[in-house]
Structure 1
Amino acid sequence: MRVLLVLAHPLEESFAAAVAQTARAALQAAGHDVDWLDLYRENFDPRLSAEERRGYFGEDYDISGVAGITSRLQAVDGLILVFPQWWFNFPAILKGFFDRALAPGVAFRPDAAGGRILPQLTNIRHFWALTTTGSPWWIANLYMGNPVRRLLKRGIANFCSKRPRFHMLTLHDMDRATEAKRKAHLQRVERALAALR
């Protein structure tokens, strides 16, 4: 299986980077081909330009600014996102990745009858998120309703692919996580990805 592994964190020494490295090693050990996309290190520009927005629902939407990334998305069986949740949401660079790379004609096609969008990344069978939150489980899930999971699963994954296998692993209360808790989470990530088929 070919997997696009996307890291969205500005610090190379971050726990998110450690999660991404663990994920890459586990995938490669299981025989998968990993395409590594570190949004910060590749200087991805998350800003949707005026031209891109103006032509968003045009007949021939111009993806030239992100063509390299869109071709990578179209060449994989799995998409794995690694990121921290900040303010119960995505880092800005990852939101920009969604806005620019999951573009019309690439990730979806508007239904001519209106109202729906038709998935175009049907090659993606697995959609995973490996993430952390600074909040305890009960705040993220009970109080906030787990907005990141809802957006990823109901919105992005299902609108871009046809019933992908969605999986999300989250380390909660990251700001107070002990070294043992972080290590246990990395082992959880490793075990989960070792079983990916």
Structure 2
Amino acid sequence: MHALVVVAHPDPNSLTHAVAARLAEGVSQARHSAEIADLMAEGFDPRFTATDHAVHLKQAASSADVVAEQARIDRADALVLVYPVYWWSMPGLLKGWIDRVFINGWAYDEIPGGKLEKKLGRLPVHLVALGGADQRTYERHGYSGAMKTQIDHGIFDYCGARVVTSELLLPSDTQDAGAQLDTAQAIGGRLFQAVERGEAADAA
């Protein structure tokens, strides 16, 4: 099976990139394949333009870069987003990727009469966010819950995609970067375990 790992960070030597690489390594060690989509290095344009708005209204065709990203997702058996927490959410680059790629008619369909067709029910999603604050800060201010509401539910549930993993990797006095990398590798290693168990049950 194949995982698309999308990473959004301007520094290729960042912990975020290292986490994405180790997660992909875990996928490979479990005898599956992984592609890392480095949005910054690839030069993806996150700006939602008048053309994108016309596409949303189904008055224009999607641009080539959006179609290419949708094709990468369509080829994947799982989508993994790895990103640093900026202002208690995801970076603008990643949010712009979602704004432009997860569009009306592809990720969901707004049907006349107010009905909504969720079109990504086949796609399992794994979220791996890296924060700079400690766990007490996230809990005290309700940031973790707010992030799950706006990202896990507000974006992916709206499209019908099931968020399987929603991991927040935080620094602590007892946890170094190595522990975060080990967690990322473990996530990659079990990415397709549920599917494999289902296939084994079917074979039996």
TM-score range, shorter chain: 0.7 to 0.9
Q: Give 2:90's aligned amino acid.
A: F
Alignment length, in residue pairs?
A: 191
Q: Distance in 2 between matches of 1:167 and 1:31?
A: 20
Q: CA deviation at 1:58?
A: 2.1
Q: Distance in 1 between matches of 2:75 and 2:45?
A: 21
Partner of 2:142: 144
Change (3 A) 1:103 1:10: same
Partner of 1:42: 42
Partner of 2:122: 123
Q: Give 1:151's aligned amino acid.
A: Q
C-alpha offsets along residues 127-153 of structure 1, whole Å, 9 cap, x if unaligned? 111111111112223313322222221
Q: Distance in 2 between matches of 1:62 and 1:144?
A: 37
Q: What 5-or-longer segments of structure 2 have no aligned partner?
A: 193-204
Partner of 1:85: 85
The structure with more helix, counted as a fraction of residues = 2
Change (3 A) 1:62 1:196: closer
Judge conservation of contact 2:20–2:36 (CA < 8 Å) in 1: no
Judge conservation of contact 1:8–1:38 (CA < 8 Å) in 2: yes
Change (3 A) 1:117 1:61: farther
Segments of 4+ moved more than 4 angstroms: 177-180
Partner of 1:196: 191
Alignment pair present for 1:33 and 2:33: yes
Q: Given the two structures, how large is their TM-score scaled by the length of structure 1?
A: 0.88
Give the superposed CA RMSD: 1.9
Judge conservation of contact 1:89–1:148 (CA < 8 Å) in 2: yes
Partner of 2:13: 13
Which secondary structure does the structure 2 equivalent of 1:129 belong to? strand
Partner of 1:183: 178
C-alpha offsets along residues 44-86 of structure 1, whole Å, 9 cap, x if unaligned? 0000111211341226653434111011111212110000001
Q: Distance in 2 between matches of 1:68 and 1:15?
A: 27
Q: Distance in 1 between matches of 2:140 and 2:116?
A: 30
Q: Given the two structures, how large is their TM-score scaled by the length of structure 2?
A: 0.85
Q: Give 1:160's aligned amino acid.
A: C
Q: Give 1:188's aligned amino acid.
A: T
Partner of 2:157: 158
Q: Distance in 2 between matches of 1:24 and 1:65?
A: 24
C-alpha offsets along residues 88-137 of structure 1, whole Å, 9 cap, x if unaligned? 011110010110011112211113221x432212331x211111111111
Q: CA deviation at 1:170?
A: 1.5
Judge conservation of contact 2:20–2:184 (CA < 8 Å) in 1: no
Q: What 5-or-longer segments of structure 1 have no aligned partner?
A: none
Which secondary structure does the structure 2 equivalent of 1:87 belong to? coil
